[in-house]
Amino acid sequence: MISIKDLSKVFHTKDQDVRAVDKMDLSIEKGEIFGVIGYSGAGKSTFIRLLNRLEEPSDGNVTIDNQDVTKLNKNKLRLARQEMGMIFQHFNLLWSRTVFDNIAFPLEIAGMKKEDRKNRVNELIDLVGLSGRGGSYPSQLSGGQKQRVGIARALANNPKVLLCDEATSALDPETTDSILDLLVDINNKLGLTIVLITHEMHVIRKICHRVAVMEQGQVVESGDVLDVFLYPKQQVTKRFVDQVMGDPDRKHSLELINETYKTGEIIKLHFVGESTNQALISELSRKFDVDINILHGKITQTQKGAYGTLFVQFNGDKGEIDRAIAYIKTTSVQLEVSPNV
């Protein structure tokens, strides 16, 4: 759907040249929610603006649905942009226009007839959950409602691609989740390809199918969200994963476990995907004569499945504990055995 080859953007300043995007290669599949994450200055916002040429690339190509966007003239680019909706961090609404008129604006520009425009806007108002608010002005809306207007406006021309530039970073956590749920719903109903820029790993975890991690203008790591969470390679990726899976009390908890539980075997179980649905602890209790004490754990859900860890203590005859451990190894659950967790 989207192919990015050797894409670069250099900003020329009085003091120096700044390479915001540096020879970037990326492929985004049709119908997926693709996340791009990076800290401030990583180049992610410049990257997303290169996709619809709000920024002109210094080098490289962007191909969307078999059309090289970087080679289009102004008239063809204007038509191509109608197939690329964009959602902004600070909404970018027209404050003198109502909700209805904000959503209708791109349809006016496209020359849609008034009656068709009215039907399309009302359809979009219902889609984004703003029924009854068509006559309201942006100043009368909450942050989440403003962003819903922005989403509806971005969808007005039935785009093939939806670009989201930090679409939830100005919102509180609860509102963020409601907007993310809406994007997933839109993705499922319309089959839209969504490219989402963020600095929050919670956003990636909750809705994205794949993710690219940017640092200093380059993609330093990419892949399925679940794989990146489970096996982060770069230090910057590990920091992002820790945003979601980090447990500030974990070190203290595990120290307490080691001090408190001097007998038996301490085992770390690692659940991935379907294995999180296994009633493993119940099975072990039925099959083996061991006492199982659950000590510490955390499970997190992604679009590609759940993953998490669970620390347990096995007490009983050593031979029976060994048989229980051997049984776990036959399942899809990974484990580590250690007297000191």
Q: Which of 6-20, 138-152, 271-285 has the lowest mean pLDDT?
A: 271-285
The pLDDT of residue 276 is above 60: no
Percent of the chain with pLDDT over 90: 67
Q: Per-residue pLDDT for 249 more than 60?
A: no
Q: CATH number of the domain at 142, please.
A: 3.40.50.300
Last-in-domain residue among 245, 270, 299:
245
Q: Of 219, 245, 271, which closes a domain?
A: 245
Q: 278 and 234 in one domain?
A: no
What are 101-123's pLDDT values in tens digits? 999 999 999 899 999 999 999 99
Q: What are phi and psi of 226, to 5 degrees?
A: -60, -40
pLDDT reported for residue 341:
44
Identify whether 250 is part of a domain: no
Average pLDDT of the residues in 10-21: 91
At position 5, the amino acid (one-letter code) is K
Tell me the per-residue pLDDT of 57-96, one tens digit each, with 9 for 90 and over.
999 999 999 999 999 999 999 999 999 999 998 899 999 9
Structure confidence at residue 310 (pLDDT): 83
Residue 91 counted as domain residue: yes
Provide the residue range defining the domain that includes 227: 2-245
Q: How far is CA 222 from CA 36, 142, 210, in A?
A: 9, 35, 7
The reported pLDDT for the residue numbered 154 is 96
The tally of domains found in the chain comes to: 2
User: Averaged over 194-213, what is the pLDDT?
Assistant: 94
Do residue 217 and residue 264 come from a single domain? no
* Position 274 pLDDT exceeds 90: no
Specify the pLDDT at position 335.
84
- State the pLDDT at residue 98: 97
Q: Is the pLDDT assigned to residue 235 strictly greater than 90?
A: yes
